[in-house]
Structure 1
Amino acid sequence: MALLKNLNSKAKTDGNSGFGTNANSYGGRFVNKNGTANIEKRGMHLLQRISWYHTMIEMPNWKFMLILFSFYIIINFIFAIIYYAIGIEHLDGINASGSFLTQFGQAYFFSAQTFTTVGYGHISPTGFLTSALSAAEALIGLLSFAIATGLFFGRFSKPTAFLKFSHHALISPYGENKGLMIRLVPFKNTNFTDATAKVTLGMSIEENGQKTNKFYNLELELDRINALSLSWTLVHPITENSPLYNFTEEDFKRTQGEILVFITTFDDMYSNTVAARTSYTFNEIIYGAKFSTMYNRSKDNTKTILHLDKLNQYDTTNF
């Protein structure tokens, strides 16, 4: 294989990757673009292998709000059906001579008022069954809103690394040689300090007739900075000690490999350390390109302007 021929024997392997070495048992990439592990867990019941709290905290805002509103509408619809089944005559204040839709609508809004413990007083339950049902609904409503409040607080207070990574990694000119370059930028009004980066190369290679996953720690020109205020370009110099030494553009196209990026930094707002991860497969690496500058001074020369929309911009070049 061309991979075996060009793989640098001086490169040191990384045995602390946390990923399996059996290439035949591993499918797809190691880490998804959003930083999550590309793992699907099976062998246990769904309720045993899913943390609903983590699921609700991590899901997108639109899906979280959709679930809350759907739950609110559906549970009130269910209680309205039960109230109607018990009998509209047990809800004092509902016009018994109205149509079915009118009566059911009034039962639904009575359920909503009971669930939220608003209780306008226009409609009131009479009889044991209706009163017991409304009391149970009020309790369920209190517990539901307590859970929703906790989830809202958890989502807002969860320490998050508001960092964006470039869509592609680049092989760019670096001094007299080449370098692997990855760019990231903070995109919220946060203050990051003591940022640390680690980049690992994972490749599927053949040794003694068997495919195996090998991991190499890629040394960076700078793996730690005091403040992360502007964009940060991670640079791995491709020297004779690099596992990518002598790799050509064709090698990147033919080889199954992945660059894993791990960032940790301290967020002053949360007073906590936050982390971000991503990965680049070899087909997401642009050979012979260089990132465009993302920032410049303001016209009055009093501020530095960081252009977030230029994160993925690069210029093609020739070695």
Structure 2
Amino acid sequence: MDLKKTFNSRAKAEANSGFGTNPSNYGGRFVNKDGTANVSKRGSGWLDRVSWYHTMINMPRWRFMLVIFAFYAGVNLIFATLYFIIGIEYLDGIETTGSAWNQFWKAYFFSAQTFTTVGYGHISPSGFLTSTLAAGEALVGLLSFAIATGLFYARFSKPKAFLRFSAHAVVAPYNGIKALMVRMAPYKNNNLTDAEAKMTLAMVVTENGKPVTKFFFLDMEMAKINSLNLSWTLVHPITESSPLFGFGAEDFSQAEGELIVSVKAFDDLFSTTVAAGTSYTFSEMVYGAKFNLMYSENQANTRTILHLDKLNSYSKVSID
């Protein structure tokens, strides 16, 4: 079966998708699993394309700490080398009779004390060049720690949705028809209200004998909810107006494209709107499956328990 000719032609495609329509330029997916755009920019200098602030704020925690420690060690290594080149004899308190490596490491720790403005006092600069270098290093240290403190605070206070999405989308029975479903759940102790979701299907179809990427805004059973405290399953009923109407298991396995999911909600702690998103290629859609329930009541029947480890749990069902 030629899938590119079997999509529902009655479904209304959207032109203002924000993505190109030429499938030959399609890089595997438009949106990464973490919701970021799968785009690599070229045509200008690297420094013009990179925002250091956004990079430092959004990088993983372990990498951020590694960059901070590497910068700290590297700057002190540079200054220690300069002190050593000027002459170790201009650092009062360092014995000049030891090995060169021993002298260098003492100069390194003097640099660390100057950079952090600790200044224990047993080593001090003498001479114009060494004193000038130490004064300059103290200024660099003050500015560096001010920037690092600002980055720490920005990362700590940055509003986030703290939403996790299921690893797969499923096609399950739904009120006598089929439906495409995606599940999400908040995994922190934040409180999200007025949540709103959108599902966009990008699919390669044949139009006038040429492959074209079409975009469809999918209708949803419920696109808005007042409070997002438990899991939320987004449901797109596959009715006659759906671009997926008439698709079977073979069609889903042969289709090319992806489902793009975006969610925004209001975080009452920060009093601002937060957003999250993800995407699912057709290979990440499980045909003939339904999500298992991921919340229950406690033994005293006084509290609802949300089992985050069951977010990706589903069972196979027959729908044909």
- Shared fold per TM-score greater than 0.5: yes
Contact 1:165 1:184 in 2 (8 A): yes
Q: Deviations over 1:147-202 (max 9, x none)?
A: 11111111112111100000000000101011101000000000000000000110
Measured after TM superposition, the shift of residue 6 of structure 1 is 2.5
Map residues 1-319 of structure 1 onto 2, 5 A cutoff: 2-319=2-319
AA aligned opposite 1:12: K
Determine the C-alpha separation between the residues in 2 that align with 1:9 and 1:97. Answer: 87
Contact 1:230 1:306 in 2 (8 A): yes
Instruction: Give unpaired runs (5+ residues) of structure 1.
Output: none
Determine the C-alpha separation between the residues in 1 that align with 2:154 and 2:212. Answer: 41
Determine the C-alpha separation between the residues in 1 that align with 2:131 and 2:257. Answer: 65
Determine the C-alpha separation between the residues in 2 that align with 1:301 and 1:71. Answer: 53
Contact 2:113 2:119 in 1 (8 A): yes
Secondary structure, aligned partner of 1:47: helix
Between Structure 1 and Structure 2, how many residues are aligned?
Answer: 319
Query: Comparing 93-102 with 239-248, which one deviates more in the overlay?
Result: 93-102
Secondary structure, aligned partner of 2:117: coil
Contact 2:5 2:205 in 1 (8 A): no
Measured after TM superposition, the shift of residue 26 of structure 1 is 2.4
Contact 1:31 1:260 in 2 (8 A): yes
Contact 2:168 2:312 in 1 (8 A): yes
Q: Deviations over 1:255-296 (max 9, x none)?
A: 102101010000112111011110000010000001000000
Measured after TM superposition, the shift of residue 3 of structure 1 is 2.2
TM-score (norm 1): 0.98
Contact 1:6 1:245 in 2 (8 A): no
AA aligned opposite 2:137: E
Q: Deviations over 1:38-90 (max 9, x none)?
A: 11100000001111110111100000000100111111111111111111110
**CA 89–210 in structure 1, closer or farther in 2 if over 3 Å, else same:** same
Secondary structure, aligned partner of 1:180: strand
Determine the C-alpha separation between the residues in 2 that align with 1:228 and 1:316. Answer: 27
Determine the C-alpha separation between the residues in 1 that align with 2:2 and 2:232. Answer: 33
Determine the C-alpha separation between the residues in 2 that align with 1:114 and 1:27. Answer: 50
> What RMSD, in angstroms, separates the aligned Cα atoms of the two structures?
1.0
Instruction: Give unpaired runs (5+ residues) of structure 2.
Output: none
Secondary structure, aligned partner of 1:145: helix
Determine the C-alpha separation between the residues in 2 that align with 1:225 and 1:15. Answer: 28
AA aligned opposite 1:57: I
Contact 1:4 1:206 in 2 (8 A): yes
Determine the C-alpha separation between the residues in 2 that align with 1:198 and 1:45. Answer: 35
Measured after TM superposition, the shift of residue 24 of structure 1 is 2.0
TM-score (norm 2): 0.98
Contact 2:7 2:205 in 1 (8 A): no
Determine the C-alpha separation between the residues in 1 that align with 2:193 and 2:25. Answer: 39
Determine the C-alpha separation between the residues in 2 that align with 1:287 and 1:104. Answer: 65
Percent of residue pairs bearing the same amino acid type: 62
Determine the C-alpha separation between the residues in 1 that align with 2:287 and 2:211. Answer: 26
Measured after TM superposition, the shift of residue 99 of structure 1 is 2.0
